[in-house]
């Protein structure tokens, strides 16, 4: 029996979720845990509808990762798929919905590490990369660096052909 254990941690709202292996995934046993973050949202300040929206989005993220695994994809790709759901959601501050800097812009960070081989990639202070986690993977796989930041990370993302957006894309 093949075992994969995945973890994706993000900063945003204080909700977490776990997706156990499904019975229809016959020869694969895995667990994926995600965390929507540790921001300032408390359950006492949420309506039932808002709390459900967070839970639904976290479930969507878990399902995106599970789909990758079910189709034979690797754990890194599964984690990235889950994170990209949260990056694209205004409910979290990992991408769309990111907090503002002092200068009223958005600067995003992401990091990724593969536990089996210790490979890692990270980016910091990117302003126009739609998916910072995708850029972190490119740093890990396509560069000699472990971390790139600011304009150097932006330039590398363009060289890798990653999708660029105006900084205002992250506004909510």
**Which pLDDT score is estimated for 109?**
95
Reported as a pLDDT band with limits 50, 70 and 90, residue 9 is: very low
16 — pLDDT class (breaks 50, 70, 90)? very low
Question: How high is the pLDDT of residue 24?
Answer: 55
pLDDT, tens digit, for every residue of 24-79?
555 657 788 888 775 677 778 889 999 899 999 999 999 999 999 999 999 999 99
Question: What's residue 116's pLDDT?
Answer: 87
**pTM, entire model:** 0.82
pLDDT at position 23 over 70:
no
Long-range interactions of 72-79: CB distance < 8 A, separation 24+: 75/4, 75/6, 75/30, 75/114, 76/112, 76/114, 76/137, 78/4, 78/6, 78/32, 79/6, 79/7, 79/8, 79/32, 79/112
Helix, strand, coil tally for the chain in percent (to 5): 35, 25, 40
Residue 65: burial class (beta carbons within 10 Å; 0-12, 13-18, 19+): buried
Whether 154 shows a pLDDT value over 50: the answer reads yes
H or E element, residue 62: helix 48-70
What are the two backbone dihedrals, phi and then psi, of residue 4, each rounded to the nearest 5 degrees? -130, 130
Per-residue pLDDT, averaged over 156-164, amounts to 98
Residue 112, pLDDT score: 94
pLDDT of residue 27: 61
Q: What's the pLDDT at 30?
A: 75
Give the integer Cα–Cα distance in Å for 142 and 29.
30
Write out pLDDT tens, residues 93-152.
Answer: 889 989 899 999 999 999 999 988 999 999 999 999 999 999 999 999 999 999 999 999
pLDDT at 126: 98
């Amino acid at each position: 029996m093949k075992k994969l254990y995945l973890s994706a941690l993000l900063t945003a709202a204080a909700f977490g979720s776990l997706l156990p292996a499904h019975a229809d995934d016959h020869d694969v046993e895995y667990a994926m845990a995600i965390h929507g973050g540790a921001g300032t949202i408390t359950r006492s300040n949420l309506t039932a509808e808002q709390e459900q929206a967070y839970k639904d989005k976290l479930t969507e993220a878990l399902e995106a990762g599970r789909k990758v695994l079910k189709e034979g994809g690797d754990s890194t790709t599964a984690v990235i798929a889950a994170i990209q759901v949260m990056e694209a959601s205004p409910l979290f501050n990992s991408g769309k919905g990111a907090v503002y800097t002092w200068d009223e812009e958005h600067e995003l960070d992401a990091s990724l590490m593969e536990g089996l081989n210790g490979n890692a990639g990270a980016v910091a202070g990117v302003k126009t990369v739609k998916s910072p986690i995708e850029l972190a993977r490119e740093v890990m796989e396509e560069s000699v660096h472990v971390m790139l930041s600011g304009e150097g990370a932006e330039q590398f993302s363009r060289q890798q052909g990653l999708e660029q957006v105006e900084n205002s894309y992250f506004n909510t």
